[in-house]
Amino acid sequence: MAPLGEETPLIGERSCSLSSTEPGTLQVYLYHRAPTPRAPPDSAGVLTFTFGEYTAEELCVHAAKACGVLPVCHPLFALATEDLSCWYPPNHLFTVEDARSQVVVYRIRFFFPNWCGLGQSHRFQLLNDRASPVLDYPVIDYLFAQSRSDFIGGRVEVALSLPRQEQCLSLAVLDMLRIAKEKRQSPDEVFNCVSYKSCIPEPLRCQIQQHSFLTRKRIRRRFSKSLRRIGGCQADGRHLKLKYLLDLERLQRPAAAPRCFWGWGVLGGRVCPPVSPQSRQHFCDFPDIADVSIKQASRDGSPVENRIVTLTKTDNRVLEVEFPTLQEAHSFVALIDGYYRLTADAHHYFCKEVAPPRLLEDVENQCHGPISSEFAVNKLKAAGGHPGLFLLRRSPQDFDSYLLTVCAETRSGQDYKRCLIRRDEDGNFWLSGLARRFCSLRELLGTYGCCGLQAEGARLRLATCCPPLPKGDGAGAAVRWRGGPGVTSHTAPEIQPADCA
């Protein structure tokens, strides 16, 4: 990370718009890339795509690989417009042409604040009630870079009262200490080449700049003493990032603004303007949603650009909201759809207008998400474990691989064998160790289902598929993500907590 001065552009705060780049390109902005010999820790970056068509989900997979994000955490991310005013559904198709350039931002969209804390939220792997941490280290790295960018760029609402100023400066101390740890320098060395003002929100920087010279010098001296006092802390960079995220959450909590979609409520057949925030009412939790649909609005019998989104609960209660454009309606429905998959059923989608293409592939191929090998075996045992029963799942480590777990009868008794299936850039599939390629998973499974397989000296047959099941403990979900509330009605549906917009 290059030395920062008071005028140095901040992470996520570009000195000029990426939209000024060459025409005929699509650029995906990253807050953080996985460290490489050429890219130091905490370096932002840009992925550039040229002529062709790309789905938003396809771009997210490319970004996830560049950031070290594993498939199990991939659903937490989405693409936003450059000004962060709107989100793209996973199936949105980008067409890159000569005439213009496009810029999108890769962000964590689906997130509950207590996922970083010591609360009850966890990622539940459906195996002996065993819990694992919600966020992997690459996701924590990315969340830190994104949250830091939002905080410093002034996108996090923070009151500038004296106590809040002190908290902001405390965050800056943590940030400077992290930089010192990662650069393997002393706090004094970092303090001499990095301005503490580059680690605080822009409104606070402006406020400090208005103080007298003596006041600014006193603040700087106090900051230096605080940094020196905690400089002997033995925590590594990632623990400091977690502490930063937790403190930032506490700083936001008193005035945290949930993510609001402003539209027109449709109640009793009448179009009503949004009402005041004080009149918000809880509509339902995500697992209670039964259906979501989008339809075109009309005025005096004629269709208009507006779209009406209808949410139906399991008890048949209905919430309708009208959005001015299709893009805003898709952004909202993709939000509901994504949270539902995280909290209720990882294999469900409400409407094809926003369904992830990879999910549609999995449904067609009766394929599970990136579940563990232990869960796959447990699932097969629960289904009877008879020879020929098999389960297809996505790899938890590789976006381009699948794993086939098959029940087999061996000399030593019942066993479970695993086969690796790879997918190349042309979309062809093959079993690792065999040269023959197939144009689809169904063709591959059908062929080897007829002729059988050999694995570790045992003959395997593919007789019956063990597919994902909806909801419940038998769900073929990659994970279930515990924690977080639901949807609020009035003032257009409001998601609590914020979806990191």
Lowest mean pLDDT, pick from 187-191, 207-211, 233-237, 336-340: 233-237
- Dump pLDDT digits (tens) for 363-372: 999 999 999 8
Residue 237 lies in a domain: yes
Residue 140 lies in a domain: no
Is residue 6 within 8 A of residue 41, CB to CB? The reply is no
Residue 147 lies in a domain: no
Taking CA atoms, 304 is separated from 87, 300, 307, 435, 492, in Å, by 22, 10, 8, 55, 19
Per the structure, the complete domain to which residue 45 belongs is given by 18-132
Do 343 and 378 reside in the same domain of the chain? no
Do 118 and 164 reside in the same domain of the chain? no
Q: Residues 155-180: what's their mean pLDDT?
A: 89
DSSP helix/strand/coil, 123: strand
* Of 293 and 451, the one with more pLDDT: 293
- Dump pLDDT digits (tens) for 433-466: 888 999 999 999 999 888 878 776 678 888 899 9
Q: What is the CATH number of the domain that holds 30?
A: 3.10.20
| Residue that terminates a domain, selected from 97, 132, 167 | 132
Candidates 67, 61, 75, 65; CA nearest to 34 is: 67
Do 31 and 126 reside in the same domain of the chain? yes
Do 57 and 79 reside in the same domain of the chain? yes
| Residue that terminates a domain, selected from 223, 255, 287 | 255
Do 119 and 22 reside in the same domain of the chain? yes
Average pLDDT of the chain is 81
Q: Write down how long the chain is.
A: 501
Do 74 and 173 reside in the same domain of the chain? no
pTM given for the model:
0.85
| Residue that terminates a domain, selected from 213, 236, 255 | 255
Residue 1 lies in a domain: no
Do 244 and 188 reside in the same domain of the chain? yes
Do 78 and 222 reside in the same domain of the chain? no
Do 295 and 218 reside in the same domain of the chain? no
Residue 410 lies in a domain: yes
Cα separation of 69 and 144, whole Å? 14
DSSP helix/strand/coil, 442: helix
Residue 270 lies in a domain: yes
Is residue 115 within 8 A of residue 121, CB to CB? The reply is yes
Residue 38 lies in a domain: yes
Q: How many CA atoms lie within 13 A of 26 on its CB side?
A: 23
Do 98 and 25 reside in the same domain of the chain? yes
Domain count, the chain: 4
Residue 348 lies in a domain: yes
